[in-house]
Structure 1
């Protein structure tokens, strides 16, 4: 079977399995529509730390610990980690994952990092370069606001087009085999980075393990291109990222010769309400209609009207937490068969923004399919 598809895509001859996943989020996310599905909700958004950046590092550590616990694996059984975040020099990743002592590929794809990490992890396993690898991403509302917008103490008014950076992290373990169905509490002792917060997640994780009926495989990917429509408003991330999402989805459908109806869901990562409308309009101009199949993680994780999150959610943790907590279990339960997961990112820095540069976007597509274990 040819693995290179079209210009931008791969179809794996030996698709890797998602062995397990783990996610942790903040209090606002816990109050949202999928809050009850998230593995672990912090008692506050400090997560026992003194500074926001340290709190985000804790998110990554806890998410990976949860994923290892569910799989009954030790940290030294992972050959590689693919991980990243939104902070300068990916400091949340560096400080959060260093204790695991796993060889690391540090990534930056802005809010698309969950897709980038899963794609590279899948390529590594499918090619036979590793038996088990991890993909981890995170974001934190306060650390992101501090870096990209205004200090929280400034209390500026947020326009309705603004998305709310998710405080959360998601970790995924990919392997050549599907993994064993095991009770989390029986395997907790095998993880290398224990945490006092883990106990509160044990019963939910054990329940999730009991409910599994299908495995999930990553059968293909489409690597996105940088797309720049000249957007300069850092308060409107949806507008900056939607063109890249449209470009990636169009390329994916062309490379695989598929129609949108081949998927049960096409799930973008971080567009929110404004970005979703732009995405649908851009694809409609190309005679592609995904309206009845599309949803966005930024719209799933928050109730905008009740929680006052403007256009919805964004941040590396948005797509990662929503996939881990909400859509991946739906695949495992057989409620969904095939989904196209398209996390989206806005490639700006505080330097480029202050210098008046445009905000280019990027998106990466990952095909997830339910399969017999």
Structure 2
């Protein structure tokens, strides 16, 4: 059911019956290391290129998800996912090993929630029984494409963010036990005229606020409806900007209730400048840490707003501004709905 202008309400409340999260060595030293299913000791993952390693990350997350659900891969009816690399080759190549029909999606670092929203839509309206969804990023592969190869050791300003090496996948089904997807608000493209690719948090903050406002307006609810409202990867700068904008727009959210995946994944002292980013950031934090907290009964309702900067290396080189987007998905503890 469409509620308001752009929020889907899922009356059947599709279930996230299992998840899989895989991280790299930097994530293994991070604050949420215990919430990953698999962690690697090096960025190469035994491959001869970072792009091939990137593919392995998503492949492992998908197969870990299926293993935990005790579901053979031939039962998966669709795979929906994406990444940041040109033509999304890591995700595309990884899905070959699953063999299911594939929908590649791109919203930059907002891809995780775009894919989850579409998966829930398919399942809710009986388009599938099992949909495998996720998003992935690899620090060295992404940095090479959008900025400079990490081997150069180029200096970055304090506004820059660290691209996460991680994948997160989830299996969405029409029935079973687990957290349930109750609604999703699809974002609009917001461009405030910023051109600095080293300030993604500042660029994405207005898009996050625009989607958050739309969600509460469409659903006719207030922020206290949720135990936690969490953005994808605004990091320090973007989170502060978004909090200020929300207050100015009459949506004051308590500081402890408004968090950011890019500020949770790493521990204090790791050299991540403003915080973390990457399509695998919100995917791994949501499908690992956040859903683990829900299953433990610590959280009943959460709203995840993944944020994405829709620039390309070419658009940046041509001096274009950075359009951004944010997609929000509401998830509730399964115990309340079974």
**Which band: TM-score by shorter chain?**
over 0.9
Q: Which residue of 2 aligns with 1:351?
A: 314
Distance 1:319 1:254 in 2: 24
Runs of 4+ in 1 over 4 A off after TM superposition: none
Matched residues in 2 for 1:113 and 1:132: separation?
19
Could you give the per-residue CA deviations for residues 41-88 of structure 1, whole angstroms, max 9, x where no partner exists?
Answer: 002111111100000000010000100000000111010010100000
The answer (yes or no) to whether the contact 1:57–1:97 under 8 Å persists in 2 is no
Q: Distance in 2 between matches of 1:357 and 1:297?
A: 28
For 1:293, which of 249, 257, 260 is the aligned residue?
Answer: 257
Instruction: Say whether residues 1:266 and 2:241 are aligned partners.
Output: no
- 1:147-166 equivalent positions in 2, closer than 5 A: 147-166=145-164
Give, in angstroms, the shift of residue 120 of structure 1. Answer: 0.2
User: Is 1:5 the equivalent of 2:23?
Assistant: no
**Distance between the aligned counterparts of 1:76 and 1:327, measured in 2?**
28
What is the CA–CA distance in structure 2 between the aligned matches of 1:244 and 1:119, rounded to whole Å? 17
Q: Offset of 1:151 from its aligned partner?
A: 1.4
**Which residue does the alignment assign to 1:231?**
194
Whether contact under 8 Å (1:223, 1:365) holds in the other structure is: yes
Alignment of 1:40-59 (within 5 A): 40-59=38-57
TM-score, length basis structure 1: 0.89
Secondary structure in 1 aligned to 2:97?
helix
Report the counterpart of residue 304 of structure 2 in structure 1: 341
Aligned counterparts, 1:63-142, within 5 A: 63-142=61-140
Asked if structure 2 preserves the Cα contact closer than 8 Å seen for 1:272 and 1:296, the reply is yes
Provide the secondary structure at the position in 1 that maps to 2:333: strand
Partner SS state of residue 57, structure 1: helix
How much has 1:371 moved relative to structure 2?
2.2
Which residue is 1:189 aligned to? none
SS in 1 for 2:157: coil
Q: Which residue in 2 is equivalent to 1:246?
A: 209
Q: In the comparison of the two structures, how many residue pairs are matched?
A: 335
Q: Is the 8 A contact 1:8 1:223 kept in 2?
A: yes
Deviation at 1:333, TM superposition (A): 1.4
Distance in 1, Cα, partners of 2:256 & 2:144:
37
Q: For 1:94 and 1:33, how far apart are their aligned partners in 2? A: 30
Alpha-carbon separation, structure 2, partners of 1:56 and 1:19: 25
* Aligned: 1:365 with 2:328: yes
1:110-134 deviation per Cα after TM superposition (whole angstroms, max 9, x unaligned)? 0000000000000000000100101
Partner of 1:195: none
CA–CA distance in structure 1, aligned partners of residues 176 and 38 of structure 2? 24
- TM-score normalised by length of structure 2: 0.98
Shift of 1:153: 2.3
Pairwise CA distance, 1:292: 3.4
Displacement of 1:334: 1.1
SS where residue 22 of structure 1 aligns? strand
* Corresponding residue number in structure 2 for 1:186: none
**Corresponding position of 2:23:** 25
Which whole-Å CA distance do the structure 1 matches of 2:22 and 2:256 have between them? 30
Measure how far apart 1:10 and its partner are: 1.2
1:306 to 255, 269, 272: 269
CA distance in 1, matches of 2:129, 2:34: 32
| Structure 1: distance between partners of 2:315 and 2:295 | 42
Unaligned segments of structure 1, at least 5 residues = 180-214
Aligned partners of 1:5 and 1:11 also within 8 Å: yes
Q: Secondary structure at the match of 2:272?
A: coil
**Unaligned runs of at least 5 residues, structure 2:** none
**How many Å apart are 1:233 and its aligned residue?**
0.4
Partner SS for 1:343: strand
Question: 2: CA distance between counterparts of 1:170 and 1:75?
Answer: 17
